[in-house]
Copies of this chain bind each other. A is one copy, B any other.
Amino acid sequence: MARPREFDRDEALVRARDAFWARGYEGTSMADLVSELGIASARIYAAFGSKEDLFREAIGLYEAREGGFVDRVLAEEPTAYRAIERILRDAVETYTRPGKPWGCMVVTAATNCAAENSRLQDWLADRRRRQTAVIVGRLEQARRGGEFVKDADVERLGDYLTTVMHGLSVQARDGVSAERLAALCDLSLRTVADFLKPGAN
């Protein structure tokens, strides 16, 4: 009924995500987006609304793909310990994948922001906090299910795991190798194992 779009919106979104992932929200200018998406700025506005809308959509894509491993693993793995094991392994892999920006996009894309973008910053912080809550929820479920010792402080363990993951993101960004990161994850797993009820997996 009207003129069809000439570019692939999905592919443009992927490129925008990679740009924001690499240099963050404020570090990626409209000029950068124009050159990396290969389309004029007016088309970006027509297709995505604004730079901020585009960023939010890019974060959504990241969380649906690369960054979504936490939710996926929690849904798939039968026991909390095995889930955590895989989450840490996936985190290292995701944050150090060759050809992709290093670190977690949700952690790095909006940390040092001008005052005018504090709303966006809070929005990302909120998503990080929710991630913690999701993990704690799964741990609590595991505790009630008898996987952990019965007085296990699952909120503390959840905080601990998120902290390690955020730390992994920073370390990955600094270029620490996947091997070194994986080695340190094994240390974290020992802590988790301390919470397990003797005899459980």
A-side residues, CB < 8 A to B, are: 23-29, 32, 107-115, 117, 125, 128-129, 153, 155-157, 159-160, 162-171, 173-176, 180-181, 183-184, 187-188, 190-191, 194
Contact = CB atoms under 8 A, between A and B. Distances in A.
Sort A-B residue pairs by CB-CB distance and give the 4 closest, nearest first.
Answer: A24-B112, A167-B167, A163-B167, A166-B170
Contacts of A171: 159, 162-163, 166
Chain A contact surface mostly: helix
Contacts of A180: 155-156, 159
Given A159-B184, A163-B167, A109 B112 contact: yes
Nearest to A108: B111
Nearest to A161: B184
B167 A187 contact: no
Given A23-B113, A24-B113, A129-B174, 4 more contacts: A129-B176, A163-B170, A163-B181, A163-B184
